């Protein structure tokens, strides 16, 4: 009954206040293009030095939770995702808004994000130490296979426009290789520009291609405002029981996927979102409705996105291994307050970590509050005339691009990729494969080559054929075949008929 005591400490004035501050900052930053939970945590880290450990962790945790949700709103309403993970939400969320179902879209994304977040927190609360051991099984080869899952998703996404999609992915892959080769110390493709010597920074590129390109699309389409109909906001943000039941499967599944992938160090939110989306689409009776405003697509991604929050903290708190970039910042926070990850954290230092976990749960409730009660207000954005919206988005995107590395060059980068994204959009070249390849490419290549380096040391078979890697290979192959299963079956039927 220890644990329930810890729950009580949440309700001091100081803790609640910092929870609110963190939650608000998180949502605002998450919604702003280019900024995310990372930005918020990075900024608040020094601010929390002088706070007591529990308060500091609660505040940062709240930023993480709501920061992962903030981008959902702009992705769904304005097609400008705040971060690379929310981009999957634009696939089905934005079409819903265009159809006039903007409020419903907010409702769907809010509720599923809430469920995803809670599932992640529950995993953290009840099975963290057990789950954390998983991270150790992942050597370079296993990580490569996991990242391959993400790449295979690309193939599933571009079935209809296969050629254009593959070209887009190839370009994205090449762009991901720009920069320092981790294994040899050599710089590739920097074309003499010192700002991209290390890497082509993720944020400005993704921001440019997805958010900023929207600016140009809106200008070209000469649209007065995002939603054209008079009574644009039909329906309500509160989903009916029937609608909830309809989405339940995708939401729960997305939550679990998000949590599990969050635990695996290399994968990250984008893979979780993509995987969840793909799974939802391929197992639905009507896969073609995805991408045109099917709430199931939106729900599955939103749930996965927030599931990653809890998942990524599992290996971090138990082993000190960050599940993704944002949780790595948490490591710094722990260190500053003299808390070391590990079993000690859950026993002698239990009160801090359980304070954090309960704080996370409460922050998820904030998501519900922000989303459901603020929906009507946010939805008004779609009615704001583009002549006002576009300059605002521009100013924010430029700032967001800068804030990533505090480099002026990144502002030019975001503009450049905004134009590229615009042209790709207009020419029918799909953007999602580019982004997926861009996010995952380097990691895939690196882990593959590293696996080969490790094989040179010992026996190749002991590296390639571990139980985990065999499992992953099976999953990868299955995912590769699945989208084409229908056509393969037809092929066999034909041959059967002929014989």
Partner 1 sequence: MKKEKRFNFNLIGCFFIYLMSGAFLVSCFSIEDIDSRTFPMILCILCMLLATIFLVQILKGKYTNADINMSGTAKALLMAGIILLYIVAINLVGYYIASIVFMPLAMLILGQRNWKIIVGVDVGVILFLYLFFGLLLSMQMPEGILFH
Partner 2 sequence: MKKFAAMLLAAAMVFSLAACGAAETTTEATPSAAASTEGTTDSTWNVTRPEGLPADFPSKEITYIYPFGVGSMQDVYFRILAEKIKEKEGWSKSIVVKQEEGASGDIGWSKFIKSDPDGYTLGFAPTAQQITAIAFGKDYTAENMSYIFNMMSDPGAVGVSSKSEYATMQDLINAAKDAPGTITMGVTSVTGSEGLAVIQLENASGAKFNVVPYNSETEVLTAVAGGHCDAYCLNIGDLTTFLDEGSITVLAVGSEERSDLSPETPTYKECGYDVIQVNSRAIAAPAGTDPAIVQYLSDCFMAAAADPDVVEQCKDIPIPYDTKNSTDTSAMFKGYYETYKALWDTEPWA
Q: Which residues bind partner 2 (CB under 8 A)?
A: 14, 17-18, 21, 42, 45-47, 49-52, 55, 135-140, 180, 182-185, 194-195, 197-198, 265, 319-322, 328-329, 331-333, 335-344, 405-407, 446, 450, 453-454, 456-458, 463
Nearer to partner 1, 69 or 216 (CB): 216
Closest separation between CB of residue 32 and partner 1, Å? 9
Closest separation between CB of residue 268 and partner 1, Å? 21
Nearer to partner 1, 408 or 486 (CB): 408
Closest separation between CB of residue 16 and partner 2, Å? 12
Nearer to partner 2, 167 or 195 (CB): 195
Nearer to partner 2, 55 or 382 (CB): 55
Contacted by 174, from partner 1, partner 2, none: CB < 5 to 8 Å by type: partner 1
Q: Helix/strand/coil (H, E, C) string of the chain? A: CHHHHHHHHHHCHHHHHHHHHHHHHHHHHHHCCCCCHHHHHHHHHHHCCCCCHHHHHHHHHHHHHHHHHHHHHHHHHHCCCCCCCCHHHHHHHHHHHHCCCHHHHHHHHHHHHHHHHHHHHHHHHHHHHHHHCHHHHCCHHHHHHHHHHHHHHHHHHCCCCHHHHHHHHHHHHHHHCCEECCCCCCEECCCCCHHHCCECCHHHHHHHHHHHHHHHHHHHHCCCCCCCCCCCCCCCCCCCHHHHHHHHHHHHHHHHHHHHHHHCCCCHHHHHHHHHHHHHHHCCCCHHHCCCCCHHHHHHHHHHHHHHHHHHHHHHHHHCCCCCHHHHHHHHHHHHCCCCCCHHHHCCCHHHHHHHHHHHHHHHHHHHHHHHHHHHHHHHHHHCCHHHHHHHHHHHHHHHHHHHHCCCHHHHHHHHHHHHHHHHHHCCCCHHHHHHHHHHHHHHHHHHHHHHHHHHHCCHHHHHCCHHHHHHHHHHHHHHHHHHHHHHHHHHHHHHHHC
Closest separation between CB of residue 44 and partner 1, Å? 8
Closest separation between CB of residue 137 and partner 2, Å? 6
Nearer to partner 1, 45 or 368 (CB): 45
Closest separation between CB of residue 12 and partner 1, Å? 23
Nearer to partner 2, 92 or 199 (CB): 199
Query: Contact residues for partner 1 (CB under 8 A)?
Result: 25, 28, 43-44, 163-164, 166-167, 170-171, 173-174, 177, 181, 183-184, 186, 188-189, 191, 215-217, 219-222, 385-388, 390-392, 394-395, 398-399, 402-403, 406, 408, 411-412, 415, 418-419, 422-424, 426-429, 445, 449
Closest separation between CB of residue 91 and partner 2, Å? 30
Contacted by 395, from partner 2, partner 1, none: CB < 5 to 8 Å by type: partner 1
Nearer to partner 2, 56 or 91 (CB): 56
């Amino acid at each position: 009954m220890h644990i329930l005591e810890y729950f009580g400490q949440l309700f001091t004035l100081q803790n609640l206040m910092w929870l609110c501050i963190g939650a608000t900052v998180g949502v605002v930053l998450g919604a702003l293009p280019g900024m995310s939970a990372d930005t918020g945590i990075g900024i608040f880290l020094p601010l929390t030095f002088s706070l007591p450990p529990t308060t500091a962790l609660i505040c940062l945790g709240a930023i993480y939770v709501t920061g992962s949700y903030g981008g959902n709103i702009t992705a769904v309403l304005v097609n400008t995702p705040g971060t690379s993970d929310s981009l999957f939400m634009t696939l089905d969320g934005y079409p819903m808004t265009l159809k006039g179902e903007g409020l419903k879209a907010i409702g769907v994304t809010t509720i599923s994000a809430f469920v995803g977040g809670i599932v992640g927190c529950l995993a953290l609360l009840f099975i963290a130490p057990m789950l954390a051991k998983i991270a150790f099984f992942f050597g370079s080869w296993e990580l490569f296979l996991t990242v391959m899952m993400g790449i295979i998703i690309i193939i599933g996404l571009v079935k209809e426009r296969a050629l254009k999609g593959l070209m887009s992915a190839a370009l994205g892959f090449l762009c991901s290789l720009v920069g320092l080769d981790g294994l040899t110390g050599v710089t590739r493709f920097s074309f003499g520009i010192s700002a991209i010597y290390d890497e082509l920074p993720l944020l400005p590129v993704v921001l440019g291609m997805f958010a900023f390109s929207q600016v140009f699309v809106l200008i070209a389409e000469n649209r007065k405002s995002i939603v054209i109909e008079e009574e644009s906001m039909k329906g309500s943000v509160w989903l009916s029981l029937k609608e909830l039941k309809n989405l339940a499967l995708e939401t729960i599944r997305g939550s679990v996927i998000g949590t599990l992938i969050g635990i695996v160090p290399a994968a990250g939110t984008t893979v979780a979102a993509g995987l969840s989306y793909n799974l939802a689409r391929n197992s639905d009776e009507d896969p073609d409705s995805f991408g045109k405003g099917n709430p199931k697509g939106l729900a599955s991604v939103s749930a996965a996105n927030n599931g990653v929050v809890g998942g990524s903290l599992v290996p971090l708190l138990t082993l000190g291994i960050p599940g993704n970039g944002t949780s790595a910042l948490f490591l710094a926070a722990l260190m500053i307050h003299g808390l070391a990850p590990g079993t000690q954290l859950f026993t002698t230092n239990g009160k801090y970590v359980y304070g954090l976990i309960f704080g996370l749960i409460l922050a998820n409730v904030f998501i519900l509050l922000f989303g459901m009660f603020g929906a009507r207000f946010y939805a008004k954005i779609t009615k704001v005339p583009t002549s006002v919206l576009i300059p605002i988005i521009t100013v924010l995107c430029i700032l967001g691009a800068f804030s990533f590395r505090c480099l002026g060059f990144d502002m030019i980068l975001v503009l450049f990729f905004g134009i590229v994204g615009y042209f790709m959009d207009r020419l029918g070249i799909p953007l999602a494969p580019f982004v997926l390849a861009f996010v995952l490419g380097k990691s895939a290549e690196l882990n593959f080559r590293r696996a080969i380096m490790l094989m040179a040391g010992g026996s190749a078979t002991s590296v390639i054929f571990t139980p985990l890697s065999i499992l992953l290979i099976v999953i990868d192959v299955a995912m590769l075949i699945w989208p084409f299963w229908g056509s393969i079956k037809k092929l066999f039927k034909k041959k059967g008929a002929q014989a």
